[in-house]
Amino acid sequence: MDARNFSALDSKGMQQVNADIPPLLTQALNASNVSAQWKRRMFGQHAGDSYVAGMDPEVLPALVGCFPDALREVLASRRAETPASTSLQLRVSIHVGPLPTSGLGVPMVHTHRLLDDDALRSVLNRANPEITNTAVIISQRVYEDVFESGCVNGDVLPAQFMRHLVKVKKFQQPAYVLIPGFDWRLADPDIFEPLDTADTATEQPAPTPGVSPQPASAAPGTVSFSHTGEHGVQAYNHFGAGRGQ
């Protein structure tokens, strides 16, 4: 994990964040019922605004299903208890793979590449730090191991994760982003680069010059609205009739 905007703090602020991170992680992991595994963590490294550690893969269902929301809650409590301090936002990456006790290996490199994802950074940069304090990215392997096994803990849903392609240096792999409590259908899709536009694109007839495209007919009982831009109506959205009503 890594703290956003750490370099913008003064020396006292940096020291405070550095001191706060380990106990905050411990509180969140205790609330996720993995305190015993956390005490046995391997290659724990605390470097100012970041922390990395390894635990047994058996904790993955709890890390995916419970930890993100638990971390959000402890960060919110920190803000409420110390309102004079700068709101702390944390980016978290979760990956799985075999590593020696030193922690050196390809899975560790991939974990850091996930954390450096531009989209993950962009989400927190856009967010109000007093509202959105946690952003989590998990590798495709973690997502499959947890959700396809049906072993996820807590009430998190697969739909709460946004899948997109992470590109950092030579690393390029699909991953899943979670903002605890956020519905991705409300997000600006331009944050993410499509995985494969060829799979999602459909041919549309060219619009007649001077004529605005018309929305699809809304089902009875729906509510619709349109977004109009410089070049006419750009998008229509329908809600209700079994689709989010």
Quick: pLDDT tens for 151-189: 889 889 999 999 999 999 999 999 999 999 998 888 776
Q: Give CA angle at 134 (174, 105), nearest 5°.
A: 50
Question: CA-to-CA distance for 197 and 195, rounded, in angstroms?
Answer: 7
What pLDDT is stored for residue 207 in this prediction? Answer: 46
Torsion sign (Cα): 228, 229, 233, 237: negative
Q: Tens digit of pLDDT for each residue in 20-33?
A: 999 999 999 999 99
124-149: b or e for each residue (b if 16 or more CB lie within 10 Å)? beebebeebbbbbbbbebbbebbbee
Q: What is the pLDDT of residues 131-161, one digit of tens each?
A: 999 999 999 999 999 999 888 898 899 999 9
For every residue of 132-166, DSSP letters joined together read: --EEEEEEHHHHIIIIITT---TT--GGGEEEEEE
The terminus-to-terminus CA distance of the chain in angstroms comes to 37
pLDDT tier, 229 (very low <50, low <70, confident <90, very high otherwise): very low
Please identify which residue in the block is written with the tokens 């996720």.
Answer: 32
